[in-house]
Chains A and B, each alone.
Chain A
């Protein structure tokens, strides 16, 4: 599609030709994820995680649609209907554990996918739109995951819903009416549960639609690669199929092994025991924590302990939490270095690794009780998080002296011998 040397779709089968002449769907698929898509030959295993994210989305859609056949979205029966799935529905325990852990694994692969983009500069021109659409997917995922966690109507479901909708209560003047409107009441109840179920069912299809846009936008410039050097000619690329379908097949196998180990041998490892207690509006669990994939953001939310003049600390925390994600939308314009890949950016690389550690610390603090020393640690970590993106990255991209870039992808793969390059 994007390169003139990409293989053209020529249907062998007369039926496919008949279809292709009338609706070029086979051609579309061929050019999107078939041999018609020319991909840099040097992608490493970090590039597997896009396909894995897509797989996780499909996994969640399939298991979710099935669970919805047995689940009752009513505060009176929701908890028991989940237990009905676990105990009485044929294979229900497997489907429910697959869905609950599938959410965690969806976030694991998406986080790796995001950090891959951060390190290799995949957000830079001409792929800004890919990055922006990816962030939209991430936000939709967070909303979907949050509402999904409410559905079992356990203690963490109830109190999570209360706390997160309470964030909107921090907005001056309109906050409380918005919170009441979101919940359809003054506390989470049947109205909230029902609308969360409706939206939890809807949003994954919106995600799927944005994923299509994300892949479409990717196919305009084509995939980036670990060197960050542009594709120069046919010798730099291989057809997606069979080269990367084979590599993704292997990656999928490894992913499924790890997923199966958790699913079958520790299915509650990533969950919280309190969610096996039915929702009780009269008693709050000792530590309310969201699911692990929200912990870094939860830590930022709780890190603000002081009012700034007329802005209360609670509002600051909410603003900062949203800002921590929204700032990623301007990242392509904050990092102005012409070099994409972190491999050739020694200073950037050091700060990138620091950011990885920083987010891990934030995650740990977000899962810990809201007490010292975790709050103080998360304050330092959150300060670095903002400084990293908003202050350090723009400066680094100005002052850094990048390492010399290879002339082409093929040269990076084969080394500098001109003979080898010519032979290709």
Chain B
């Protein structure tokens, strides 16, 4: 009885599935799916060799400082970094006084309440503060940016596939639409106010190219030349740090743990062999 019922259920589900497959296949052959413009022209990020790659990877503090400079001078006008606090910048090699100065001189002020009147006011940030938001709320952000909200960058490199490479590629991937694209997809012309970028999922990005010229940011002495590509790499490295500040702790702990486990497992194996030595199995 159980087996009969089971067979009926099985025949029903399998039958429905095979029928679905059949009609799906017919549709697939008679009307093959049309390739989309994203499918044809979207590209995966270019692979860069980062200092933090691999099990022994470390952040290059000089690079993080340069990247922070790019963020500060270029990105921070529109993009928040709300999960990161000024005090975290000590990881980049700044000392306490430098962090204090960075916070105090930050262009965007931290919201506060006037202690006398109770009215909203602002004050200079202190190291314990998170980076203040450039816009009071999403509506203000939208209004100031052609209806697009500049996303928070704290976790950008972790919230995109292959994030560190993605940010670098995106920042250097602007350009005119390829002729071939317009020939194949005449309707896919980049709308006004958007910018073509072959690394962006739907190819058209509201953000205008932020890094446009060599020397847009002036690096300190002894640092590499601030080419667009260099600045893009540096800010990607910085944003990798903001997304995963504990990367170095994680990797060094990992080396120790795996080494310990290897020794322990070898010992466990030897112990297992000695205990079973007199038992064939």
In the complex they form, whether A and B have CB atoms below 8 Å apart is answered with yes
**Who on chain B is nearest to A277 by CB?**
B159
**Bound complex: CA A267 to CA B250 (Å):** 10
Question: Which residues on B sit within 8 Å (CB–CB) of A87?
Answer: 83, 88, 245-246
Question: Which residues on A sit within 8 Å (CB–CB) of B272?
Answer: 246-247, 249-250
A220 touches B (CB below 8 Å): no
Taking a contact as CB atoms under 8 Å apart, the answer to whether A264 and B10 are in contact is: no
Interface size class of A (residues with CB under 8 A): 35 or more
**Bound complex: CA A97 to CA B151 (Å):** 25
- Taking a contact as CB atoms closer than 8 A, the residue among A327, A373, A387 that contacts B14 in the complex is A387
A351 touches B (CB below 8 Å): no
Taking a contact as CB atoms under 8 Å apart, the answer to whether B264 and A260 are in contact is: no
Taking a contact as CB atoms under 8 Å apart, the answer to whether B271 and A249 are in contact is: yes
**Bound complex: CA A263 to CA B55 (Å):** 12
Number of interface residues of B (CB under 8 A): 56
Taking a contact as CB atoms under 8 Å apart, the answer to whether B268 and A249 are in contact is: yes
Question: Which residues on A sit within 8 Å (CB–CB) of B154?
Answer: 83
- Taking a contact as CB atoms closer than 8 A, the residue among A254, A376, A386 that contacts B13 in the complex is A386
With a 10 A CB-CB cut-off, give which of B28, B250, B262 has the most chain A CB atoms.
Answer: B250
**Who on chain A is nearest to B82 by CB?**
A80
Question: Which residues on B sit within 8 Å (CB–CB) of A382?
Answer: 13, 17
The A interface is mostly helix, strand or loop, or mixed, namely helix
- Taking a contact as CB atoms closer than 8 A, the residue among A276, A320, A336 that contacts B159 in the complex is A276
Number of A-B contacts (CB under 8 A): 166
A389 touches B (CB below 8 Å): yes
Known contacts A276-B158, A304-B16, A386-B14: does B9 contact A94 (CB below 8 Å)?
no
Question: Which residues on B sit within 8 Å (CB–CB) of A8?
Answer: none
Taking A276-B155, A323-B13 as known contacts, 19 extra A-B pairs with beta carbons closer than 8 A to each other, sorted by chain A number, are A247-B272, A250-B269, A253-B264, A253-B265, A253-B268, A257-B261, A260-B261, A263-B254, A264-B253, A265-B251, A303-B20, A372-B33, A376-B21, A376-B24, A383-B13, A383-B17, A386-B14, A391-B6, A391-B14
Write the residues of chain B forming the contact surface with A, with a CB cutoff of 8 angstroms. 2-3, 6-7, 9-11, 13-14, 16-21, 23-25, 28, 33, 55, 83, 88, 151, 154-155, 158-161, 163, 201, 243, 245-246, 249-251, 253-255, 257-258, 261-262, 264-265, 268-269, 271-272, 275-276, 279-281
Closest 7 CB pairs of A and B: A264-B254, A390-B10, A253-B265, A276-B159, A379-B21, A383-B17, A383-B14
Write the residues of chain A forming the contact surface with B, with a CB cutoff of 8 angstroms. 41-42, 80, 83, 86-87, 93-94, 97, 238, 242-243, 246-247, 249-250, 252-254, 256-257, 260-261, 263-265, 267-268, 273-277, 286, 303-306, 308, 316, 320, 323, 327, 330, 333-334, 336, 371-373, 375-376, 379-380, 382-384, 386-387, 389-391, 394, 413-414
